[in-house]
Amino acid sequence: MKDKIVLITGGARGLGAATAKKMAAAGAKVLITDLLQAESEATVASITKAGGEAFFLEHDVTDEARWAEVVEAIEARYGGLDVLVNNAGIASDGTPLATMTLESWRRVISVDLDSVFLGIKYAIPAMKKRLGVWQGGGSIVNISSIYGIVGSPGAAAYHAAKGGVRLLTKGAALELAPDKIRVNSVHPGFIETNMVKEGIRKMAALVPDISENEMMHEVAQRHPIGRMGLDTDIANAVFYLASEESSFMTGSEMVVDGGFTAQ
């Protein structure tokens, strides 16, 4: 990853921040984008303090014009793009389909699926500018979910979006293979991030006589490996797919879930 130019959306905290830190530690030049300015700047400060190179831009990933500006900024600074990690996302709010509003549905689809399309679209020309610099070409890693593979009640919009990311990845991989741009997806299980913890809080609130900690334990025990995942577990998978060590992988889905979907 040394000297590779990397763009990570949703890089303020959680999976995005862990991935940014791992890539920067390996010598990549990293652009973090997010709407959380203070947390993004803290992540950048942590990277630079450790001797890495990173900067931050505020970025609404549903805004096509802003995608163009962000990619132009990284091109102006470094001359192109080598790796895109489409990580930004939000969860469904647990509303059943029968009472879900179209506005709520479209919000999840926009952030979790439309943004991945926009990222791929604007990354392509920037990556083509770097073709020939690296033997393996460009790499796009899309963060999906095990909920892009299996279903559950109360998360229909999230399932639809993450399932869309799964197959968008495969279609893009076939289309971009001649350009030496690889496209793969990562499917995390339950990871100890703010978004997952908030989801577990909501689950616990719906179940009588169970505390948040008890619900956390119950969710952890659903994984055959006996624990929930860490943000570094996903960062390691993304790092591999972004690097040239995975040069024969495209259109693949990497499931990192402690055996959850093997049951």
Q: Which two tokens stand for residue 19?
A: 């991935």
| pTM of the entire predicted model | 0.94
In a domain, 182, yes or no: yes
pLDDT tens, residue by residue, 49-72: 999 999 999 999 999 999 999 999
In a domain, 99, yes or no: yes
- Give residue 37's pLDDT: 97
% of the chain residues with pLDDT over 90: 82
> Does the pLDDT of residue 39 top 90, yes or no?
yes
pLDDT tens, residue by residue, 155-209: 999 999 999 999 999 999 999 999 999 999 999 999 988 777 777 777 667 777 8
- Give residue 222's pLDDT: 87
Alpha-helix runs per DSSP H in the chain:
14-25, 37-49, 64-78, 102-109, 115-128, 156-176, 194-206, 212-221, 231-242
Average pLDDT over all residues of the chain:
94
| Whether 147 is catalytic | no
- Give residue 209's pLDDT: 80
In a domain, 47, yes or no: yes
In a domain, 207, yes or no: no
> Does the pLDDT of residue 92 top 90, yes or no?
no
Stretch 206-230: mean pLDDT: 85
In a domain, 214, yes or no: no
- Give residue 153's pLDDT: 86
- Give residue 159's pLDDT: 97
In a domain, 243, yes or no: yes
- Number of domains observed in the structure of the chain: 1
Its domain, for residue 92, covers 5-198+230-262
- The CATH code of the domain that includes 52 is 3.40.50.720
Q: Which of 78, 122, 147, 158 is catalytic?
A: 158
- Give residue 204's pLDDT: 67
Burial class (CB in 10 A: 0-12, 13-18, 19+), 53: middle
Rounded CA-CA distance 140/250 in Å is: 9
pLDDT tier at 218, thresholds 50, 70, 90: confident
